[in-house]
């Protein structure tokens, strides 16, 4: 018998978290090509164009699902609104990171997507702890993480932001299932 692994899909009240696909490239490039988004991430460049979005979709398709899972956050009426990803990167627990396109800020999408991903991570991915962090000058992201049950560890790391081209103080947080 042949078993075909499919990418996980997470459904919340308003959102569908699914693997990004080639047809999502224009939306990802449009939303991510905003310095207010990329400057609050570690890995995203700015500017962010279609070639970056294509490479992102290709990289996600090649992920080992035991070590990483990345989802496009899709609203039932609005389409793509952001991205959320879980990955192992050398910490004691996997890390989770996310971004929401600026037109969709303040609507609770980040919190809803994060809560859905945490339920999935605990039940399906069988992780009992996750790490995350936010840049010290982005307290809004910290509030989203707190609402989802993350706690501050007290650790502050200087981590390199590709879009800023410099290290940024990052306040580390942990979630325990």
pLDDT tier for residue 177 given thresholds of 50, 70 and 90: confident
d(CA 95, CA 32): 20
Six-digit token string for 164: 């800023």
d(CA 57, CA 22): 7
**What does the radius of gyration of the chain's CA atoms come to, in whole angstroms?**
15
Per-residue pLDDT tens digits for 80-97: 999 999 999 888 899 999
pLDDT tier for residue 122 given thresholds of 50, 70 and 90: very high
Which has the closest alpha carbon to 89: 33, 133, 45? Answer: 133
d(CA 31, CA 98): 13
**pLDDT above 70 for 2:** no
What single DSSP character describes residue 177?
A: -
Could you tell me the end-to-end alpha-carbon distance of the chain, in angstroms, rounded to an integer? Answer: 35
Residue 97, beta-bridge partner list: 85
Per-residue pLDDT tens digits for 7-55: 899 999 999 999 999 999 999 999 999 999 999 999 999 999 999 999 9
Which pTM was predicted?
0.94
pLDDT tier for residue 6 given thresholds of 50, 70 and 90: low
């Amino acid at each position: 018998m042949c078993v075909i692994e499919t990418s996980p899909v997470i459904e919340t009240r308003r959102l569908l978290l699914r693997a990004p696909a080639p047809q999502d490239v224009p939306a990802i490039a449009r939303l991510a090509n905003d310095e207010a988004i990329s400057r609050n991430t570690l890995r995203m460049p700015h500017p962010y164009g279609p070639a970056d979005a294509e490479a992102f979709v290709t990289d996600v398709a090649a992920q080992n699902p035991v070590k990483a899972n990345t989802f496009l956050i899709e609203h039932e009426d609005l389409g793509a609104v952001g991205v959320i990803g879980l990955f192992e990167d050398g910490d004691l627990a996997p890390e989770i990171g996310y971004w929401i396109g600026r037109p969709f800020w303040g609507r609770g999408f980040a919190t809803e997507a994060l809560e859905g991903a945490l339920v999935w991570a605990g039940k399906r991915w069988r992780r009992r702890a996750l790490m995350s962090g936010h840049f010290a000058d982005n307290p809004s992201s910290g509030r989203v993480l707190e609402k989802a049950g993350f706690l501050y560890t007290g650790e502050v790391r200087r981590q390199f932001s590709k879009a800023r081209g410099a290290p940024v103080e990052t306040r580390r947080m942990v979630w325990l299932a």
